[in-house]
Amino acid sequence: MTIGLINANPIVHAKKERIARTEDLHCDDAVDPLDIYDSVRDIRDPEHPYSLEQLSVLSEESVTVDEKRGRILITFTPTIQHCSMATVIGLCLRVKLMNSFPPHFKVDIKVSPGSHANEESVNKQLNDKERVAAALENPNLRQLVDECLQSNDL
Amino acid sequence: MNRTLELLGLLRGRRVRKLLATVSFDATAAIWKHAGGDFDCVSTLEGHENEVKSVSWNASGSLLATCSRDKSVWIWEVLPGNEFECVSVLQGHTQDVKMVQWHPFLDILFSCSYDNTVKVWAEDIDSDDWHCVQTLGESNNGHSSTVWALSFNSAGDEMVTCSDDLTLKVWKSEIQKQQVGDGYAPWKHLCTLTGYHDRTIFSVHWSRDGIIASGAADDAIRLFVENKDGQVDGPSSPSYKLLLKKEKAHDMDVNSVQWSSKETRLLASASDDGAIKIWKLESIS
C-alpha cells in the first residue's frame, strides 16, 4: 500500500442523527433508497478511521432507485480529485450491496460528476463486472475491502 | 470461473477426433478430448499473466487463439499428439482483450477489447509473423466503450460487434477480393443499431440464415434482421430492425448467446443466474 496517506487531512463531519424507522408497510420486494443508504453509510474509509458518511463521501442523495426496472445507482464523492482509493471505495460499495440486496438488482456505481480527475476511467472499471471479479480475487484488495466493511460503529 | 467453450470436430480418415478448448480465470486454457462419453484433459496452455477470456479455433482446426486481461492475444499451433505450441504473442491492445474470433474461412483473427477497439490480425506472407492489419476504433465509426463480442455472417463478408456503449455495429469487407489474392480487404462501418439496448451488450451471434441475436445485461435476448422493405437510400445503407425482444429471458445478465450450427432457429443462452437455456424461434412473419 502507499507509504503516505493520499489525503492526510480529511474533513470529518459529525454523524448524522439516525431516525428510528418504523416497520415498512411495503411488500417484501420493495427497496427503499434509505435502506440502501443505511447499509453503506458506515463503510469505513480505506485510509481513515471514519465512515464514508462522516467524510461526506456518501450522503442520502447518493442513492437512487428505479424500483420498477430494478436498478440502483450510487454516486460517491472522493475526498480529493486525485484519490487513488476511489476504486477501492467503489469496490466496497459493490460488495456491500451484493451481500445485502437480491441479485436481480442492477447496480451502477459512479463517482459524482466532476469529483475525480479520472472520472471516466474509474466509472468504467467499477462497472465492468469482469474487472470487479478480478479485483475481488486479488487477496490484498479483498482484505482491504473486508476491513472497510467491518462496521465497528452502529 | 470458466468463461468460454469452443467445440471443434476434426475429420481424420474415417475417425472423428473431437477436441474442446476451455479457458479460465486461472490464466490457463485447457484442451479436452472426447473419449467414450467423457472428456479427458489432454493439454494445458500456460503463458497468459491473468484471466483468459476467450478461445477460438480457426476454420481448419490447425490454429487456436486465446486472449486475456493481460492485453495480449496468443496464437497456438496444433501439433501431432495433442501438443500445442505458441507461435505468436500479439501485443497491441492497450487494455483487456475480451474476445477472439477467427474469420469463418480465412486465417484472419479478430479481437475486441476494453480499449474500445476491434483489431484484425493476419500472418505476413514472407515471414511467420503475425501483425495487426487494421484497428476499428472511434475514428472509423467504431465503439465508444468496451467491445465485448463479435460475430460473422455466413458469407464471411459482414461482421457485427456489440459493446458497453449500448450499440451493435455492422461492418463489411470486400472479402471476395482478398480471396483471389488482391491483398487485404479492410473492414468498413456499415451501420449502427442504437436505441435498442439500455445496458451493456455482452454477446452477439449471427445465424446462418441472417438473424442477429444479442444477449445483454438487462436479462433480455433480442433478435434483429435486415430491414429489406422500403429501402429509401439504396443498397449502400442497409438497416436492421428488431425482430423480437425476449424480456426476462434469464433472471440475471445474459452473458452469451449462440445459434446452433446444425439446426437453424435453435438458440442457446447462458447467464449469471447459472442457467443455460435452449430456445426455438417459431415462425417469422
User: Which residue do the cell numbers 477436441 mark?
Assistant: B19
Q: Is the per-residue pLDDT at A1 higher than 50?
A: no
Cβ contact, residue pair A134, B25, below 8 Å = yes
Q: Judge whether B24 is closer than 8 Å to chain A, CB to CB.
A: no
In eight-state DSSP terms, residue B156 is S
User: What's this model's pTM, rounded to 2 decimal places?
Assistant: 0.89
For residues B281 and A127, what is the distance between their CA atoms, to the nearest angstrom?
A: 32
Cβ contact, residue pair A134, B253, below 8 Å = no
Cβ contact, residue pair B50, A133, below 8 Å = no
Q: Judge whether A68 is closer than 8 Å to chain B, CB to CB.
A: no
Q: Judge whether B70 is closer than 8 Å to chain A, CB to CB.
A: no
For residues B65 and B87, what is the distance between their CA atoms, to the nearest angstrom?
A: 10
Size of interface A-B (CB pairs under 8 A): 33
| Chain B residues in contact with A137 (beta carbon < 8 A) | 25
Round the average pLDDT of chain B to a whole number and report it. Answer: 90
Note the pLDDT of residue B178: 81
CA distance A98 to chain B (A): 13
Round the average pLDDT of chain A to a whole number and report it. Answer: 86
Q: How far is CA B233 from CA B141, B204, B210, B229, in A?
A: 19, 26, 21, 12
DSSP annotation string for B83-138: EEEEEEEE---SS-EEEEEE-SSSS-EEEEETTS-EEEEEE-SSSS-EEEEEEE-G
Note the pLDDT of residue B115: 98
- The share of chain B scoring above pLDDT 70, in percent, equals 91
For residues B95 and B116, what is the distance between their CA atoms, to the nearest angstrom?
A: 9
Cβ contact, residue pair B25, A106, below 8 Å = no
Q: Is the per-residue pLDDT at A48 higher than 50?
A: yes
Instruction: Give the cell for residue A43.
Output: 463503510
Q: Is the per-residue pLDDT at A11 higher than 80?
A: no
pLDDT by residue (tens digit) across B247-274?
Answer: 999 999 999 999 998 888 999 999 999 9
* Cross-chain CB nearest to B252 (options A104, A128, A137): A104
Q: Is the per-residue pLDDT at B147 higher than 80?
A: yes
Region label for A16, one of left (φ > 0), alpha (ψ between -120 and 50) or beta (otherwise): beta
- As a whole number, mean pLDDT of residues B89-102 equals 98
Burial class (CB in 10 A: 0-12, 13-18, 19+), B132: middle
- Residues B6, B23 contacting (CB under 8 angstroms): no
